[in-house]
């Protein structure tokens, strides 16, 4: 089901212009790219976060499709209720359309406060797709660390200081946690290739039962990047293997993008102000080596899960 971008230019994105997300924000791009391949009528459930707030500044809404937000920690339960109502009303002949359900949550609303509600919805097997637009921290409240914030990143509640070099802990592997619910489709991608995002989300939406797509999206403010670098940073995230691009279909793990060559992690870190402290002072070399070592460890873990090998042209 290869997607041809040209075919989609006539389609209107479920998210209109006129939203108040920052210039260069990755979240709306994730929505546009993710939903452009969906042909069915959609209902969107949104956890509290930048995307929710900035697209629905009352009395305006940037959503062309039905959309609902209740709170931060409960998007999984929110979509469960809507989907349950749909099934009930359809069974009773009050709805005749085939509707699909998509949930958006940031990493705070997904990895942290919303994890229980998401886990419940996955276990119950509702037919929905959960998209985590993951910018690796609490951006809506001013760049605090979340359990998705990577090790060594500077965040406002894990600041890089003279003694502590940013966040000390590894990010939670949420995609693997979701996969452990044995749902039919789980994927991880980033905004490096619109076709990849569109195809993964389309597959997720068209798969009956719960599906999950974890999309790494840059936050211009927190990551401290030039707004124009959105696509380039995402490409570097994939090429440096900082954010591996893969999918798990019915328990079968598969890396769907393997970089052709080894790109050092510095190339991803350098353009970002949140990693500025890694390029200064006596500890710089050691910290960058550790960063690379983390990448190699996690990549090997993924290769093992997939039963694959990687032979880049060095």
Partner 1 sequence: MPRREIISGNWAFAEAMRQINPDVVAAYPITPSTDIPMKFAEFVANGKVDTNFVTVESEHSAITACVTAAAAGARVMTASSANGVALMHEIFPIAAFFRNPIVFGLVNRSLGAPINIHCDHSDSMGERDAGWVHLYCEDAQEAYDSAILAVRLAEHKDILSPVFVCQDGFITSHSFEAVSMLDDETVKSFVGERDADLPLLDVDNPVTYGSFAMSEYYFEIKRQQVEAHRNVLKHYDSVARDYESVSGRFYPKLDKYRTDDADFIVVVMSSASGVVKDVVDELREKGVKAGCLRIRMFRPFPAADVAEVLGKAKAVAVLDRALSIGGTAPLSAEVKSALYDAGAHVPLQSCVYGLGGRDFFPQHAMEIFADLQKGNIRAEERYIGLLE
Partner 2 sequence: MKKEMNSAEMARPKKWQDVPMAGVAFGASAEAVETGQWRSIRPVWDSEKCISCLLCWNQCPDRAILTDENGKVSGIDLFFCKGCGICAHVCPKDAIEMKPEADFPSDSGSR
Q: Which of 13, 61, 69 is nearest to 45 (CA)?
A: 69
The secondary structure of residue 274, as a DSSP letter, is G
Q: How many residues bind partner 1 (CB under 8 A)?
A: 49
Question: What tokens does 128 get?
Answer: 């929905």
Q: Of the two residues 20 and 170, which places its CB atom closer to partner 2 in the complex?
A: 20
Q: C-beta of 60: minimal distance to partner 2 in Å?
A: 4
The binding track of 243-282 with respect to partner 1, each residue x by CB under 8 A or -, is ----------------------------------------
CB 36 within 8 A of CB 242: no
Cβ atoms of residues 147 and 114 within 8 Å: no
Answer for which of 17, 23, 59, 208 binds partner 1 (CB under 8 A) is: 59
For residue 197, the minimal CB distance to partner 2 (Å) is 9
Per CB under 8 A, contacts with partner 1 among 113-132 are 116-117, 119-120, 123-124
Cis peptide before 59 (omega within 30 of 0): yes
Interhelix angle 27-35/194-206, nearest 10 degrees: 60
**Contact track, partner 2, 182-201, x by CB under 8 A:** ---------x--x-------
* Cβ distance to partner 2 smaller for residue 11 or 280: 11
Residue (of 128, 105, 122, 108) closest to 38 by Cα position: 128
Residue 212 near partner 1 by CB under 8 A: no
Of 216, 9, 222, nearest to 131 by C-alpha is 216
Nearer to partner 2 (CB atom), residue 19 or residue 126? 19
Question: Do residues 75 and 47 make contact, with C-beta atoms less than 8 angstroms apart?
Answer: yes
* Binding-site ranges for partner 1 (CB under 8 A): 41-43, 45-46, 52-54, 56-59, 61, 63-71, 73-74, 76-82, 84-89, 91-92, 94-95, 97, 99, 116-117, 119-120, 123-124
């Amino acid at each position: 089901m290869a997607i041809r971008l040209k075919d989609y230019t006539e389609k209107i994105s479920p998210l209109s212009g006129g939203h108040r997300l920052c210039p260069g924000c990755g979240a709306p791009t994730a929505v546009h790219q993710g939903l452009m391949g969906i042909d069915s009528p959609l209902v969107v459930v949104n956890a509290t976060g930048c995307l929710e707030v900035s697209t629905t500044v009352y009395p305006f809404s940037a959503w062309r499709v039905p959309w609902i937000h209740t709170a931060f920690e409960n998007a999984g339960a929110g979509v469960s209720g809507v989907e349950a109502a749909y099934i009930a009303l359809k069974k009773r002949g009050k709805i005749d359309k085939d509707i699909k359900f998509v949930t958006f949550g940031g990493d705070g609303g997904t990895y942290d406060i919303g994890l229980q509600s998401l886990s419940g919805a996955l276990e119950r097997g509702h037919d929905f797709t959960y998209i985590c637009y993951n910018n690796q921290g609490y951006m809506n409240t001013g760049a605090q660390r979340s359990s998705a914030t990577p090790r060594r990143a500077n965040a406002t509640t894990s600041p890089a200081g003279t003694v502590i070099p940013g966040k000390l802990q590894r990010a939670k592997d949420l995609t693997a946690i979701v996969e452990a619910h044995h749902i039919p489709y789980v994927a991880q991608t980033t905004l490096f290739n619109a076709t990849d995002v569109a195809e993964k989300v389309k597959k997720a939406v068209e798969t009956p039962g719960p599906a999950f797509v974890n999309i790494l999206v840059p936050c211009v403010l927190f990551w401290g990047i030039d707004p124009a670098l959105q696509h380039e940073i995402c490409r570097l995230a994939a090429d440096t293997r900082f954010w591996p691009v893969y999918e798990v279909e019915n328990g079968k793990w598969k890396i769907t993008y393997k970089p052709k060559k080894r790109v050092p992690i510095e190339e991803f870190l350098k353009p970002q102000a949140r990693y500025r402290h890694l390029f200064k002072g006596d500890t710089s070399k050691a910290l960058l080596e550790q960063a690379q070592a983390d990448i190699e460890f996690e990549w090997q873990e993924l290769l093992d899960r997939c039963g694959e090998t990687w032979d880049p042209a060095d």
